[in-house]
Structure 1
Amino acid sequence: MRHLVPIALAAACAAALPAWAAAQPSAPLYKEFKDWQIACDNGGRCEAKGFPKEDDADHLSVVRVTREPGPQGAIEITLEAEGRFAANGLALQGGGRLPAERWTDASSGDTDHRLVLRDQDGAATVLAALRGAQGLRLGNAGTVSLDGVTAALLAMDDAQGRVGTTTALVRPGDAPATTVPAAPALPVLNAPAPAPAALSAEAVQTLAAATRASQRAALSAGECFAEDKRDDAIALTATEALVQLQCIQGAYQSSYLFFRVPVRDPKAARQLVLPLPVGEPSSSFIDTDYDPAKGELTSSGRGRGPGDCGESAVWVFDGKDFQLRSFAMQDSCRGFPGDWPVLWRVAEPKAAAAAAAPAAAPAGARPSFDCSKAKAAAEVAICGSAELSQADAEIARLYSRLRGGLDDKAAAALKLDQQTFVMLRDDSFGDTVEADRLDDLGTRLRQRIAFLRKVKTGTPTGLAGAWGNGFGTIEIKPDAKNRLSVSIETVEQLAARWVCDVSGSGTESSGRLALKVDEGWGLTLSRDAAVLTVDELRPGGGDPSVSPPYCGANGSVAGAYLPLTGMPR
């Protein structure tokens, strides 16, 4: 995995697959087989995913096979792609076509298109056909490689204890389904500790400074060399604080070390090291957040900018210890942003499970997706609100209309921007439905509508005008000296951890504009069809981990911007 800053994981799956005893806690499984991967969580639920060949990465498409644990073990096959495709266009490389009549169109109308097959006999037939082919072509939406599918499905059978039974997909036998182990029990977490009184600003500064001074050895061992030290301290209990020290500062994310620090004796700080279900315990955390009201510590690190690989974890503090609540990871940088298999989950309390159950969309208000399949807490909240449902549907309508009116490069840039919006929408909302988050969700949806309404179709001439994406805006105006004056503002959309504000002027030449800005940094703006691309130029020999002087830590103005009808207000 190509991590900028790892969450201290090593995907160290044993060569031998685990055998699970009935109704006992289970070790997760993550393993890759050529163009396929298999992930089974601690509750025995398994997901196999297939991707295009590495040299066919221009077409983003995925085949997903999920199977529940236990003797019944329902199977679901999902075909997903960034482009439209239909069931009657599914073709196997090596000959043959898949039956079209059993697929259900589950496209969200948002960022991807999906066909789903839940019929169990049909699923078995399709999987047998996939195992005998080289690839599956999804119409004009790309081809998924089938190199590794048999090994992945065999690993799934083995992990769920199906090999040699009538339920196996690869090596069936005469043993009845009743011999398949029951679903393993999920762990039950202790209740989170009540939130203590918040620390004063003076106490936060004192504890953070004292911990950094006393933990030089730990910082050195972690190679923590961030220049802009975003340290913090939060009350953990009445007598103990959770101190966060910034460790490594990267281009789009940062890592931190955490310490449990006695408020009255900061020198007695203990570094926080938390267990993970695979690999080594985590002592370094990425883009973190601690919510005292819920006792939740989150860490989420992308393997690279698009977010198609990475790891995320949530722990809950019960007053004594941090308990792992959820963990997801994808080692291979392929597939859709944020689509990382879940390897660890817990049994939800009955009240929480009822609150999180997908609600039917209110009468007259239908969001862009099927509420019966809503999983993310943000989707559940949208389904439970007529206002949010209407806003989501309007976003999907505007997005679909724009995709049809933009050139290929602008459409691709808008698609990536929309995927990022959805990922940030879900990340900012969290994983539970809470009333105090609904206002923020509504604001984000309304802001997205306002942005999409300002995106301009057609190809502009020159560089002058308004440009924007989900992170910020650019305004380019001619000045009295026949030069172009440029003003750029961007902001990190989760918690405004960084803000960038830069301006300058220059002369356009051959469709490019070069600007000299602060401390030897420079910007190059260039237009390709209807997309404005901004590149940042570092001073000679500059440290790649250092942020530009016009941005906060990890900030950047680099990226693709779309033409707007005017600057958002």
Structure 2
Amino acid sequence: MTNSLRLLAAALLLAAPAFAPAFAQAAPAASFDGTWQACKRYQGELWCQGLQLEQRGTQIRGAWNWRASNTGGINLFKGRLVGARVEFDPEGCVIGAERCEPRTPSEAPNYLLRCGAELHWVGADVTSCQGKIDEGSRYRRVARDKIDVVDFSAYPFFDDGKAHPSFDCAKAKTPVERGICADPVAARTDSAIAHRYAELLQRFSGAPAQGLREDQRYFMTIRDAAYENAARGDRAKVLREQLDGRFKELDRMREYPSKGLVGDWNNFAGGLEIRRNAKGEYVVRGNAAHPLDGRWVCDAEVSGRGSDERVVARAEGDYEGSALELTRIGLAVRVRELDAKGAPKPMSEFCGVNGTLDGWYFQSPPPKP
């Protein structure tokens, strides 16, 4: 990395969101919510900055990250909408090896403007979208896997010591709801789950969206049972584990999955690994288990031929046995277990009693080695 690039990095870190108050303008035409990226070439290198913003009403929390060569950094910040611009608190933090360290606020105010399909990161001298800005300050919406996303619920920086779940604690009725409201950390994760779930539902439609709703309802059923079945002294720990696990699952789901069937597909109970071998066959490995106590386990290794939209796969050499039918529908894969005649099979041959691989699966990146 050149000395000039290091100087640019230092300047950007000092200028990272530490925004002064902005004057009122007309209400913004669209949300700031989402993941954004701005890239430019500097001395032959591609310099990219990412913004991850979560907007809830007028409140916004976010992460700003930059990457060049083998270096980079991530800042966290909080703020709010003021007219058509974003005003951030002067205080922020820089994510370090162990925690988010407080950072020195920038002396010069900066702002985010919502300009059509872009976000413009500007100084105080630019008061409208007509102002000229550098290409590296024009942020365009990108998929979450294009930038280094942050699990906001993992950082106390966003915790004010109060419970802020996805629902009104004054109306909490169930034991789980009361447990979430009693724990600010659990409340923060519950809110993050609801936010990510809503993001995904905006992308999905039709039957896949209904499949995601069913998957979320299944998680909530298991979450409630895990909490109520736990010993009273362990309930807070169990609840946090359930919520943390679900958020990580939702956060890994790809909003823009690759085409076809090949890939890693998961739901709350398990997952599928779909590959193609040298013969052109689809090879499918499926694993699942009851999420609460493992009372049933599924294990399947089948293969078959088909298209990018549909494959019927059976165990090798077993042409009379059960099969998995995999169908790509929209942004998800629908799996059905079939008998030898191709009819839906009520009792699974791949799972223990009451288990099944039937259901909707959603693409996620392959696990890291």
TM-score w.r.t. structure 1 length? 0.34
Would you say 1:492 and 2:290 are equivalent positions? yes
**Secondary structure of the equivalent of 2:325?**
strand
Flag the structure with more relative contact order, 1 or 2, with Cα contacts below 8 A and sequence separation at least 6: 1
Would you say 1:555 and 2:337 are equivalent positions? no
Q: Does structure 2 retain, via aligned residues, the 8 Å contact 1:409–1:531?
A: no
Would you say 1:529 and 2:330 are equivalent positions? yes
| Cα deviation digits, residues 7-48 of structure 1 (max 9, x gap) | xxxxxxxxxxxxxxxxxxxxxxxxxxxxxxxxxxxxxxxxxx
1:521 is aligned with what amino acid?
A: S
**Secondary structure of the equivalent of 2:291?**
coil
Equivalence map 1:351-370=2 (5 Å): 363-370=161-168
1:428 is aligned with what amino acid?
A: A
Shift of 1:568: 8.3
Would you say 1:449 and 2:244 are equivalent positions? no
Shift of 1:385: 1.0
Report the Cα distance in structure 1 between the residues aligned to 2:234 and 2:368, rounded to whole angstroms: 26
| Cα deviation digits, residues 383-417 of structure 1 (max 9, x gap) | 11121111111101111111122334332221221
Q: Does structure 2 retain, via aligned residues, the 8 Å contact 1:392–1:445?
A: yes
Report the Cα distance in structure 1 between the residues aligned to 2:322 and 2:192, rounded to whole angstroms: 40
Q: Does structure 1 retain, via aligned residues, the 8 Å contact 2:261–2:308?
A: no
| Cα deviation digits, residues 265-301 of structure 1 (max 9, x gap) | xxxxxxxxxxxxxxxxxxxxxxxxxxxxxxxxxxxxx
Q: Does structure 2 retain, via aligned residues, the 8 Å contact 1:468–1:563?
A: yes
2:271 corresponding residue in structure 1: 473
Equivalence map 1:76-115=2 (5 Å): none
Distance 1:550-1:562 versus aligned 2 partners, 3 A rule: same
Report the Cα distance in structure 2 between the residues aligned to 1:492 and 1:539, rounded to whole angstroms: 26
Report the Cα distance in structure 1 between the residues aligned to 2:357 and 2:295, rounded to whole angstroms: 14
Q: Does structure 2 retain, via aligned residues, the 8 Å contact 1:413–1:560?
A: yes
Gaps of 5+ in 1: 1-108, 110-360
**Secondary structure of the equivalent of 1:520?**
coil
Distance 1:432-1:459 versus aligned 2 partners, 3 A rule: closer
Report the Cα distance in structure 2 between the residues aligned to 1:413 and 1:374, rounded to whole angstroms: 27
Q: Does structure 1 retain, via aligned residues, the 8 Å contact 2:211–2:359?
A: no
Report the Cα distance in structure 1 between the residues aligned to 2:345 and 2:275, rounded to whole angstroms: 31
Would you say 1:504 and 2:305 are equivalent positions? no
- Percent identity, aligned pairs only, is 32
Shift of 1:463: 0.5
Report the Cα distance in structure 2 between the residues aligned to 1:452 and 1:568, rounded to whole angstroms: 17
| Cα deviation digits, residues 300-338 of structure 1 (max 9, x gap) | xxxxxxxxxxxxxxxxxxxxxxxxxxxxxxxxxxxxxxx
Distance 1:436-1:362 versus aligned 2 partners, 3 A rule: farther
Distance 1:544-1:537 versus aligned 2 partners, 3 A rule: closer
Equivalence map 1:339-358=2 (5 Å): none
Distance 1:449-1:486 versus aligned 2 partners, 3 A rule: same
Instruction: Say what the alpha-carbon RMSD is for the aligned residues.
Output: 2.9
1:409 corresponding residue in structure 2: 207
1:369 is aligned with what amino acid?
A: F
Distance 1:431-1:379 versus aligned 2 partners, 3 A rule: farther
Q: Does structure 2 retain, via aligned residues, the 8 Å contact 1:381–1:433?
A: no
2:234 corresponding residue in structure 1: 436
Shift of 1:540: 5.5
1:565 aligned residue (360, 365, 368): 365
| Cα deviation digits, residues 492-514 of structure 1 (max 9, x gap) | 12221101010122222362111
Shift of 1:515: 1.0
Shift of 1:565: 2.7
1:392 corresponding residue in structure 2: 190
Distance 1:378-1:551 versus aligned 2 partners, 3 A rule: same
Q: Does structure 2 retain, via aligned residues, the 8 Å contact 1:530–1:562?
A: yes
2:352 is aligned with what amino acid?
A: G
| Cα deviation digits, residues 407-457 of structure 1 (max 9, x gap) | 343322212211221122112222898222322221111110111011111
Shift of 1:371: 1.2
Report the Cα distance in structure 1 between the residues aligned to 2:292 and 2:214, rounded to whole angstroms: 17
**Secondary structure of the equivalent of 1:462?**
coil
Gaps of 5+ in 2: 1-55, 57-158
TM-score w.r.t. structure 2 length? 0.51
Report the Cα distance in structure 1 between the residues aligned to 2:230 and 2:167, rounded to whole angstroms: 19
1:456 is aligned with what amino acid?
A: R
Shift of 1:487: 0.9
Distance 1:432-1:489 versus aligned 2 partners, 3 A rule: closer
Q: Does structure 2 retain, via aligned residues, the 8 Å contact 1:477–1:485?
A: yes
Q: Give the number of the structure whose alpha-carbon radius of gyration is greater.
A: 1
**Secondary structure of the equivalent of 1:430?**
helix
| Cα deviation digits, residues 156-190 of structure 1 (max 9, x gap) | xxxxxxxxxxxxxxxxxxxxxxxxxxxxxxxxxxx
2:83 corresponding residue in structure 1: none
1:558 is aligned with what amino acid?
A: D
1:419 corresponding residue in structure 2: 217
1:562 is aligned with what amino acid?
A: F
1:492 is aligned with what amino acid?
A: H
1:381 corresponding residue in structure 2: 179
**Secondary structure of the equivalent of 2:301?**
strand
Shift of 1:524: 0.9
1:461 aligned residue (254, 259, 277): 259
Q: Does structure 2 retain, via aligned residues, the 8 Å contact 1:524–1:535?
A: yes
Shift of 1:362: 7.7
